[in-house]
Structure 1
Amino acid sequence: MKAACVLLLGLLPLMANAAQVGERLAPFTLNDQHDQAFTLDASTRVLLAASDMDGAKLVKAALADRPKGWLEARHTVFVADIQGMPALIGKLFAIPKMRDYSYRVVLDREGQVVPQYGVPAGQVQWLQLEDGKLVSKRSFSDAEALGKALAELPQG
């Protein structure tokens, strides 16, 4: 019981700081897997965020059959927190492998962005945006459900 209380108290700052519906998300600029800069702006409608490899695997599975540029055509961006990845592994293996993906992966190398969204471990956080303001959020722990939700996004 004591350990559970300590854990809960440790998580309170993260939960308290998680972006809330109605708030404007702070703009950020991070590089993707091709070292191209991405800046969050008012044109982004959906921000997908993963705080770990399990969450990133959900996005990969949900987008497996989608053509290149599919997410971008729906004004959707995927941000992955890779701060826990050893730099050598990232540089030699993980990031080069990501370059083969048909979608852009914006890399949060320092954990500056994704922790603000309160992403549950092993899940993908879907942040629905309107002119930079958070209008709704939901979490996915199933690639099929995430894929179905993404398929409902309008193009353009």
Structure 2
Amino acid sequence: MKLFVVLFLSLLPLWAQAVEVGERLAPWTLLDQFDQAYTLDDQAQILLVARSMDAAKIVDGALQGQPKGYLEARHGVFVADIQRMPRLVAKLFAVPAMQSYSYRVMLDRDARIAPRYPGAVDKVLWLQLESGKLIAQYEYGSAAELRQALEQVKP
């Protein structure tokens, strides 16, 4: 019983932070793969969140072959939760590899942002925003599905 209470109390802050449809997303700032800061603002219309390498690969697959600025033209922001990745691996291999991407990756190194938006670990969470408010959310489990959804968005 004591274990249940401790577990419940430790997860309570995560539930309290979950955003609901109609709520305004709290602004946050993260660094991208070039160490350039990005602050979430009312201009963002799509927030893609990947909590695992598998989910990040879905985003990468969906954006493969797209020109530089494709996601940004759709007012999209991509957040990758990399807190489980060993820091040395991230610094020496993963982040330098991301610098060749044609899109920005906001790196959630300490899992400060991604846990605010609950979803499946192996899927990409799509948060549809309007003036900073959440109006809808979707999950995508394949690059083809995500690519098709992105193609529906007018730049």
TM value normalised by structure 2 = 0.90
Aligned counterparts, 1:126-141, within 5 A: 126-141=126-141
Residue in structure 2 matched with residue 67 of structure 1 by the alignment? 67
CA–CA distance in structure 2, aligned partners of residues 10 and 52 of structure 1: 25
CA–CA distance in structure 2, aligned partners of residues 80 and 115 of structure 1: 11
* Residue deviations 1:61-108 (CA, integer Å, cap 9, x gap): 000010111111111010001111100000000000000001100001
Structure 1 gaps of 5+ residues are none
Residue in structure 2 matched with residue 118 of structure 1 by the alignment? 118
CA–CA distance in structure 2, aligned partners of residues 142 and 11 of structure 1: 32
CA–CA distance in structure 1, aligned partners of residues 18 and 61 of structure 2: 26
How far the C-alpha of 1:17 sits from its partner, in A, is 3.7
Report the AA paired with residue 78 of structure 1.
F
Identity, in percent, stands at 53
* Residue deviations 1:130-155 (CA, integer Å, cap 9, x gap): 00000000111111000000011110
Aligned counterparts, 1:78-89, within 5 A: 78-89=78-89
CA–CA distance in structure 2, aligned partners of residues 134 and 141 of structure 1: 21
CA–CA distance in structure 1, aligned partners of residues 33 and 104 of structure 2: 7
Please give the secondary structure, in 1, of the residue aligned with 2:107: strand
Aligned counterparts, 1:100-111, within 5 A: 100-111=100-111
CA–CA distance in structure 2, aligned partners of residues 54 and 119 of structure 1: 14
Residue in structure 1 matched with residue 76 of structure 2 by the alignment? 76
Following superposition, which runs of at least 4 residues in structure 1 exceed 3 angstroms of deviation?
8-17
Report the AA paired with residue 107 of structure 1.
L
How many equivalent residue pairs?
150
Structure 2 gaps of 5+ residues are none
Please give the secondary structure, in 2, of the residue aligned with 1:107: strand
Report the AA paired with residue 124 of structure 1.
V
Residue in structure 1 matched with residue 45 of structure 2 by the alignment? 45
1:50–1:119 CA contact under 8 A, matched in 2: no
Do the aligned partners of residues 142 and 16 (structure 1) sit closer, same or farther apart at CA in structure 2, a change above 3 Å counting? farther
Residue in structure 2 matched with residue 90 of structure 1 by the alignment? 90
CA–CA distance in structure 2, aligned partners of residues 143 and 32 of structure 1: 22
Aligned-residue CA RMSD (Å): 1.9
Please give the secondary structure, in 2, of the residue aligned with 1:122: coil
CA–CA distance in structure 1, aligned partners of residues 20 and 120 of structure 2: 15
